[in-house]
Amino acid sequence: MWKREKKPVVGVFGFSGCAGDQLAILHMEDELVDFFTSADIKFFHMAQSHQEVEHVDIALVEGSINTDKQLAELKEIRKKADIVVALGTCATHGGIQYLGDNEKEFEERMLLVYGKDGKIPEFSELVGNPIPAKPIHKFIEVDFSIPGCPIAKENFIPIYTKLISGLKPSKYPYPVCIECKFQGNDCFLLHGEYCLGPVTAGGCDACCPTFGVPCVGCFGAYEGANFESMIEKLIEIGLTEEDAKRKLMMFGGEATELALKGEK
């Protein structure tokens, strides 16, 4: 028989993203009461109005870092937290906003999007100065990563509950294909349709392929991904190399980018 000394203090913090991961937590309606009672939730922008906390045992951090102000806040969170968990593909891989990285120089992109009279306007203090979007592990040490766009509760709960119970979640990467075959699905790639299942981290129960939609890779790169072979396969089914790489980069973030450059 085991007993916890006291409830761990948990904070849910959000940076750049659609806030879908915070929403995904609030969407776990069957588990919501337990979520707010099994731990002491001290900071949760989307759910609480009280927003100050000195120390958290576990920080769940959503979103990528897009401004210098966010960067400073992120570093504060690291100081306050014993365990930092990157929550969702934006925090773990950089998310869709990483996509533009390196296609053009950052200044050039800023001008293209926000430019006025050939100049980038000043950004208010509330927002901070923009920097290229990056996953949080580029700036601070991250203890655990739970990818997803948004996170899937089947994947989130077992990792989270181990953390609040003082246990170490096991890290065992597998691709979407594993869960796809758990569902007994056929394979898109065998029928000349693109699907990024083999290079994408699992955890979603292969919900898209199960409903007849190919995987677009929203959980980010799978640790054992073989990008070279994947690109060859995509070319074989009729994509150009450029298209194949663009599809891989949509949610692939830095891990995919490095792999495509052969730096992995």
Partner 1 sequence: MKTYKMSKDRFPEFIELIKTKGQLFGPVKGNGHYSFEKIEKFEDLDFDYQRTVIGPKKFLTPSRYPTLRYDKTGQSDVFVSDEPQIVIGVHPCDIHGINILDRLFLGNIKDPYYEKRRNNLIIIGHSCFPDENCICKSTGTDMVEDGFDLFFTELEKHYLVWVGSDKGLSIAIEAENLLSEEISEEDIQDYVRWQQKRSGMFKSEIPSFKYLADIIHLNYDSKVWDQFGEKCLSCGTCSLVCPTCNCFNVEDRINMNAEDGYRERILDSCTLPYYSMVAGNHDFRPDRTARLKLYYTHKLKEYIGKWGQPSCVGCGRCVTFCPVDINVITVSEALFGEVCENQEVCD
150 prior amide bond cis, ω within 30: yes
Residue 97 lies near partner 1 (rule: CB under 8 A) = no
How far is 240 from 232, CA to CA, in rounded Å?
A: 10
* Residue 64, helix vs strand vs coil: strand
- Write each residue from 189 to 228 as x if it is in contact with partner 1 (CB under 8 A), else as -, in one continuous string: xxx-----xxx------------x----------xxxx-x
How far is 178 from 183, CA to CA, in rounded Å?
A: 9
Measure CA of the first residue to CA of the last residue in the chain; give whole Å. 45
| Structure tokens that stand for 249 in this block | 């980069």
How far is 31 from 26, CA to CA, in rounded Å?
A: 9
* Residue 39, helix vs strand vs coil: coil
Local structure of residue 37 (DSSP, 8 states):
H
Among 182, 235, 238, 264, binds partner 1 (CB under 8 A): 182
- Write each residue from 2 to 41 as x if it is in contact with partner 1 (CB under 8 A), else as -, in one continuous string: xxx-----------------------x--x--xx-xxx--
- Smallest gap from residue 200 Cβ to partner 1 (A): 10
Structural contact between residues 256 and 200, judged by C-beta atoms closer than 8 angstroms: no
- Smallest gap from residue 26 Cβ to partner 1 (A): 13
Structural contact between residues 195 and 41, judged by C-beta atoms closer than 8 angstroms: no
Which of residues 37 and 129 has its CB atom nearest to partner 1 in the complex? 37
Among 82, 108, 186, 243, binds partner 1 (CB under 8 A): 186
Residue 262 lies near partner 1 (rule: CB under 8 A) = no
Among 170, 192, 261, 263, binds partner 1 (CB under 8 A): 170
- Write each residue from 126 to 165 as x if it is in contact with partner 1 (CB under 8 A), else as -, in one continuous string: -------------------------------xx-xxx-xx
How far is 172 from 159, CA to CA, in rounded Å?
A: 11
Positions touching partner 1 (CB under 8 A) are: 1-4, 28, 31, 34-35, 37-39, 157-158, 160-162, 164-165, 167, 170-175, 177-178, 181-182, 184-187, 189-191, 197-199, 212, 223-226, 228-230, 232-233
